[in-house]
Structure 1
Amino acid sequence: MNTIIYLVRHGDSPKEGNERTRELTEKGYRDAERVAEVLKEENVDVVASSPYRRSVLTVEKVAKKLHKEVVIIEGLKERIFSPEGTRLSDKELAPLLERSFLDPNFSLKGGESNNECQKRAVKVVKGLINIYEGKKIVIGSHGAVMTLIMNHFDPRCDLQFLNNTTKPDIYKLTLHHDELMDVERLWESV
């Protein structure tokens, strides 16, 4: 029996602010509507999300169209890059990500490594697979943690893969127990 997971990277969000509370830009809200349109015919059983506001807002419309609640799961949050909870600039983040994919145990003081983040998030995903085996699960996510979850099942999902994702993005993973059978990208940028 196959379980389907739709990993949804959040839509465009403001460049400044707290990691937990940043919402979506106007484009992000428009794209969230498109995400709901893409997923409305998928017969989704469960909608889960990172607790970060931009992820919840990206999948909230999917849940509403399907008359479901968004299940917030702390373990799905983005990789913790800095202890302060403020967004790192793209200029600061790029070399940090590069180093992290070369050395999965690397982290800034008070931050989280790729290995730590992956272990945390994959544990949640495997728990969801156990609870909802044979069902369809939407997960509101972020770029790094989404890539690390996918990397667990397919090592080809690496820094280059992350750099080629968009905001938002949708990947449909077909799993038999916890073995990856297929990956399909459902999002088309306009």
Structure 2
Amino acid sequence: MTTYIYMVRHGESPKTEGSERTRGLMEKGKSDACRITELLTGEGIEVYVSSPYRRAILTIEESARRSGQEILQFEELKEQKFSNEDIRMPDNELMPLLKRSFSDPSFALPGGETNHECQNRAITVLKQLLTTYQGRRIAVGTHGAVMTLTMGYYDKRYDLDFLLNTTKPDVYRMEFIGQQFVGVKRLWI
């Protein structure tokens, strides 16, 4: 039985507004969320899950509402924690950390988590979804690093270079037969 997992990276979010957990979407992110709604509606999504972070929820919220579904939130799908603070790290500080974390999956700053830890928590949820909702179409509101690490668990091509070339938003459809990974197709253009 084929199950499809749609990894939906959130839209553009203000870099200074609120905490990591509460940042919403910028106008472009809101506009793109409307396009995401049309794309997901056309795919016949049956289950909606998300990171608890507001920007991820807002990106798939209208699609879930239109299909009469609730969004199931999983703390384990939150963005990778790079430090012990709940604020967005400036790009000039984040980029060297990303590079180091992808070259050394056991690297983390104090209070942060390794790529391996982030990947394990996300994969635990994904495997649970594959069991619970086998044969269904599942949209996952997520973040760039979590999406990349999840996809990279199944295919090593999804690495730092891939992450750096994704967009906000972005949508990838992962195909599984049972728990067996079949492939990925990018749907966002």
Helix, strand or coil: the match of 2:84?
coil
* Alignment of 1:92 onto 2:93: yes
Q: 2-side partners of 1:115 and 1:178: how far apart?
A: 20
User: Which residue matches 1:144?
Assistant: 145
Q: 1-side partners of 2:5 and 2:34: how far apart?
A: 19
Unaligned runs of 5+ in 2: none
Q: What is the RMSD computed on CA atoms of the aligned residues?
A: 0.7
Q: Residue 80 of structure 1: CA displacement?
A: 0.6
Q: Please give the per-residue CA displacement for 1:95-124, whole angstroms capped at 9, x wherever unaligned.
A: 100000000010010001100000000000
Q: Which of structure 1's runs of 4+ aligned residues deviate more than 4 A?
A: none
User: Which residue matches 2:53?
Assistant: 52
> Residue 9 of structure 1 aligns to which amino acid in structure 2?
R
Q: Residue 78 of structure 1: CA displacement?
A: 0.7
Q: 2-side partners of 1:26 and 1:187: how far apart?
A: 18
> Residue 20 of structure 1 aligns to which amino acid in structure 2?
R
Helix, strand or coil: the match of 1:172?
strand
Q: 1-side partners of 2:85 and 2:43: how far apart?
A: 38
TM-score normalised to the size of structure 1?
0.97
Q: 2-side partners of 1:90 and 1:176: how far apart?
A: 38
Q: 2-side partners of 1:180 and 1:62: how far apart?
A: 26
Q: Please give the per-residue CA displacement for 1:54-96, whole angstroms capped at 9, x wherever unaligned.
A: 0000010110121111111111111111111110011111110
Q: Please give the per-residue CA displacement for 1:22-67, whole angstroms capped at 9, x wherever unaligned.
A: 0000111010000001110211110000000000000101101211
User: Which residue matches 1:153?
Assistant: 154
Q: 2-side partners of 1:65 and 1:33: how far apart?
A: 12
User: Which residue matches 2:82?
Assistant: 81
* Alignment of 1:21 onto 2:22: yes
User: Which residue matches 2:62?
Assistant: 61
Q: 1-side partners of 2:41 and 2:86: how far apart?
A: 33
Unaligned runs of 5+ in 1: none
* Alignment of 1:173 onto 2:183: no
Q: Residue 178 of structure 1: CA displacement?
A: 2.2
